[in-house]
Amino acid sequence: MPSLVIVGSGDLWVTPEIMSIVIGKILNTPPIHPLGVRVPRGADEPTTPLERFVAQIGPSLGRVIDRNRADTNQKGDVWRRDYDMVEHAVAVLAFFAPDQEMEGGTGHVVQAALARNIPVEAYRLGETGRPELLGSDDGVLQGGPLDPSIYNVPGTITFPYPPSVGTLIWTGSGNYSFNIPDPHDHSTWRKP
């Protein structure tokens, strides 16, 4: 089954606004689609803080996590993993750190998706700390797999937010609120 691939820069901290976009896109994608993340060879957990967040919250949303590994950690094998991952994707959702735009491994995943005509939606964390849309394929935002008509059913999700748990509450009309421990402490989601 094609997956919703969600990738993020290694030095990107996961803000409540990024969490809301990610959760909304997951909820707006049919539940038959697993969530695709990158995992280093020999590891169980994803590489980046955002992808670790996706792997932790996905099961709470009833989603299977598709952990994509390269055969080795050599650049050629990592690139092949990226191409294989997007060839089996319904769409790619990508997030970049403030000083990046389409760079590094996350940029490579976006390039691989675009080369294969896989819908992409990409964001960068702006100077204000809020995500800014860098770009989106035609149709991705309007009726496509990442349409922004999110939170169409009211609900509450509790999810891991080390060292505690967080709660996302949404009304079904696009409004949401977070209850997370110290929302300004991003150290738990930063790559060491």
Neighbours of 77 (CB within 10 A): 14
Summarize pLDDT for 68-96 with one digit per residue, the tens: 888 777 778 887 888 899 998 999 999 99
CA distance 80 to 25: 26
Angstrom distance (rounded) from CA 119 to CA 69: 22
Question: Look-up: residue for tokens 């402490």?
Answer: 185
Reported as half-sphere exposure (CB side, CA atoms, 13 A), residue 87 has a value of 6
- Any domain includes 19: yes
Helices (H) and strands (E) in the chain, counts: 4, 9
Q: Which pLDDT belongs to residue 51?
A: 92
CA distances (Å), 29 to each of 35, 39, 47, 192, in order? 10, 22, 23, 31
Strand partners, 4: 35, 91
Counting the structural domains of the chain, the total is 1
* pLDDT, tens digit, 9 for 90 and up, residues 12-37: 888 878 888 888 888 878 888 899 99
* pLDDT beyond 80 at 62: yes
For residue 144, is it within any domain? no
In a domain, 183, yes or no: no
Global pTM? 0.76
Residue 90 forms part of a structural domain: yes
Please state the rounded mean pLDDT for residues 37-52: 82
User: What pLDDT is stored for residue 179 in this prediction?
Assistant: 56
Q: Residue 105 — very low, low, confident or very high, per pLDDT cuts 50/70/90?
A: confident
| Domain presence at residue 92 | yes
Q: 42 or 11: which carries more pLDDT confidence? A: 11
Burial of 184 from C-beta contacts in 10 A (0-12 / 13-18 / 19+): exposed
Flag whether 108 is in a domain: yes
Give the domain extent around 114.
Answer: 3-136
- CA terminus-to-terminus distance, the chain: 33
- Segment holding 146, helix H or strand E: none
Query: Which position has the higher pLDDT, 173 or 94?
Result: 94
Across the beta sheet with 164-170, the strand order is 155-161, 164-170, 176-179
State mean pLDDT over 34-62: 85
| Residue 186: per-residue pLDDT | 46
Instruction: Indicate whether 164 belongs to any domain.
Output: no
DSSP 14-51: --HHHHHHHHHHHHHS-TTSPEEEEE-TT-SS-SSHHH
User: Does residue 185 sit within a domain?
Assistant: no
Reported as a single tens digit per residue, the pLDDT across 109-152 is 999 998 888 889 999 988 777 888 888 765 454 444 455 454 45
Per-residue pLDDT at 52 exceeds 50: yes
CATH number at residue 83: 3.40.50.11700
pLDDT of residue 173: 52
